[in-house]
Amino acid sequence: MTSACSHLAEVRKALAAGHWPQAVAPELRSHATTCTRCTQEILITQHLFAAKASALTAFQTDAPHAAPQLLWWRAQLRRRNAALAQAARPIAAAQLFAIAITAAAAIGLIVTHWDSIFSSAAHAPASSFMALLTNWGLAPLLLAITLVATLGGLALYLSADRQ
């Protein structure tokens, strides 16, 4: 790495203050023409200063930028949405838990009444709802209600989640 020049701090100071090259000692200027490190410093700083100056001007003349009030409002809105999302997390967890319990109950019901459903279905005549109810008992009715409740709850949960 190039060793730091002893005049570098002085050159930097003059550049930062905008004194280069008019308001610096002639010795320093003549040194800068022969020192690689100082030449680099001057070349880059002058060009980047010029680019910054033109960018600062462009910022004012370009299309209007967002007002600070609008940014403040958007930040507050984002904070609020984040807080709402955080608060909604336990509710979503509770909904999932409820769905899981309902599904488990439905499965349990099917398993415990499987034999009666199967035997009733085997001997059931293809007749009216009353005949089916007489032959199968309340098990299919309970099963249907459970399924409707489960699917309804799931549909509600999914629609609420999308919103």
Partner 1 sequence: MNWEDAIPAIALAHAAPSVGNAEPAMDSDQFAAFYERTSRPLWAYLARTSGDPALADDLMQESYIRFLGAGFPGGGDVASRSYLFRIGTNLLRDHWRRKRTVPLEDLPPDRSAARDLTGHTESRLTLMPALAKLRPRDRQLLWLAHAENYSHREIAEITGLAAPSIRLLLFRARRQMAKLLQQEGAKIS
Using CB under 8 A as the binding rule, whether residue 127 contacts partner 1 is answered as: no
What are the contacts of 153-162 at 24+ separation with CB within 8 A? 153/95, 153/98, 153/99, 153/102, 154/99, 157/95, 157/96, 157/99, 160/95, 161/92
Does 50 contact partner 1 by CB under 8 A?
yes
For residues 90-119, which are near partner 1 according to CB under 8 A? Answer: none
30 counts as binding partner 1 under rule CB under 8 A: no
**Which amino acid is residue 10, in one-letter code?**
E
DSSP 66: P
Which range in 47-55, 96-104, 119-127, 155-163 contacts partner 1 by CB under 8 A? 47-55
Q: Is the peptide bond before 90 cis (omega within 30 degrees of 0)?
A: no
Q: Which of 9, 25, 30, 79 binds partner 1 (CB under 8 A)?
A: 79
For partner 1, the closer CB: 39 or 120: 39
Q: Applying CB under 8 A, does 128 fall inside the site for partner 1? A: no
134 binds partner 1 (CB under 8 A): no
Helical ranges in 35-138 per DSSP H = 36-61, 68-112, 114-123, 129-136
- The residues binding partner 1 (CB under 8 A) are 1-2, 16, 21, 32-33, 39-63, 65-66, 68-69, 71-80, 82-83, 86-87
